[in-house]
Amino acid sequence: MSFELPPLDFALDALEPHISARTMEFHYDKHHRTYVSKLNQLVEGSPPARMSLEDVMRRSADSPSGQALFNNAAQAWNHAFFWKCMKPKGGGAPSGALAERLKGNFGGYDKFRTAFLDAATSQFGSGWAWLVQSGDKLEVIATSNADNPLVRGKIPLLTCDVWEHAYYLDYQNRRADFVKAFVDHLVNWEYAASQLQKKAA
């Protein structure tokens, strides 16, 4: 058994003009695929080869000798999650339970949007911006490199990849424009809402 590159729910050109097919070709078919293949090389013939991706991440997260394993496992997980967080003609304010939660936790969608854009643009270097559930609260956080909130006891609801490889072909150094396009035109709120847990984790 080995870890696999999960299929996308949309065509490579489906997120245009916000994310080009060319970016998706590199990002999904080269970067994401490489994390999955490196992970398979690292676990070959050892117990983590039979674990879930989440368990591999949790067990390697704080292990000094497990950094390569954690980085590749977490990047495989983060990318699979990021693709699920987007859909063509997405973005804007959510409705339903998540709209209420954003209101209760941030004072409304606009304030959440500002917090998310701030976290994504101020993350120094490579990383990820997240909307997470922490106990009963929702929070916006950023993580660096491959780091993932799941291994810190938080439940990811939404993420945006802010590694340069996510936007450089389309936006060059304008990360803020990429993150705005993500929030305003691509977010799959139905998927984010499906990740909400009723009780504190």
Binding site for Zn ion (CB under 5 A): 161, 163, 166
For residue 146, report the phi and psi dihedrals to the nearest 5 degrees: -95, -5
Dihedral sign from CA coordinates of 58, 59, 65, 69: negative
The amino acid occupying position 88 is P
* Residue 37 beta carbon to Zn ion: minimum distance, rounded to whole angstroms: 15
Q: Which is nearer to Zn ion, 98 or 183 (CB)?
A: 183
Give me the least distance between CB of 166 and Zn ion, in Å please: 5
Chain centre to alpha carbon of residue 141: 12
By beta-carbon proximity to Zn ion, the closer residue of 147 and 161 is 161
Are the C-beta atoms of 189 and 90 separated by less than 8 Å? yes
Q: Do 166 and 159 meet the contact criterion of CB atoms below 8 Å apart?
A: no
Choice between 102 and 183, CB closer to Zn ion = 183
Which residue sits closest to Zn ion, CB atoms considered? 161
- For the CB of residue 75, give the shortest distance to Zn ion in the complex, in Å: 7
**Is 42 or 166 the residue whose CB approaches Zn ion more closely?**
166
Cβ of residue 165: shortest distance to Zn ion, in angstroms?
Answer: 5
Torsion of CA 88, 92, 93, 96, to 10 degrees: -10
Radius of gyration of the chain from its Cα atoms, rounded to whole angstroms: 16
> Closest CB to Zn ion among 13 and 164?
164
- The half-sphere exposure of 83 on its side-chain side, counting CA atoms within 13 A, is 22
Rounded to the nearest whole angstrom, what is the least distance from the CB of residue 162 to Zn ion in the complex? 9
